[in-house]
Amino acid sequence: MATPDQIYDQAVDRRDAGDKPGAIELLIEALLIDPDFAIGHGMIAKLYADLGEVEKAIEHAKRVVELEPEDTFSYTALSVIYVKCGRIPEAEAAKAIAFQREHGL
């Protein structure tokens, strides 16, 4: 059985080949093996946002923040997903948290 990391690498290859839905399918497989696979949630959030599946994108981006609450980049990525999905107030709130984390506030 492939590991989540191995499946992630396959998903990157699919994404790079232009097959975002195929990459999502692989990432879902990885997340079934390890629901706490943060990098998988992050990539799937970006792919869903690219495909206009707003709620799914936000759900996965929020999961990254839950899994890595002290990571500044997680909040920055959530903010970017919110912007891409047209949810500016939420994007600003996530950006503010990223700023606080980065500056130890």
CATH of the domain at 94: 1.25.40.10
**Residue 31 pLDDT > 90:** yes
Higher pLDDT, 32 or 105: 32
- Contact (Cβ atoms closer than 8 angstroms) between residue 77 and residue 63: no
CB neighbourhood size of 49 (10 A): 21
CA distance 88 to 92: 6
pLDDT for residue 85 is more than 90: no
pLDDT digits (tens, 9 = 90+) for 40-84: 999 999 999 999 999 999 999 999 999 999 899 999 999 999 998
Helix runs in 17-103, H state only: 20-33, 38-50, 54-67, 72-84, 88-102
Is the pLDDT score of 101 beyond 90? no
- Average pLDDT of the chain, as a whole number: 95
Instruction: Tell me if 75 sits within 8 A of 92, measured CB to CB.
Output: no
**pTM (two decimals):** 0.91
Number of domains in the chain: 1
Between CA 82 and CA 33 the distance in angstroms is 27
Print the domain residue range for 19. 4-102
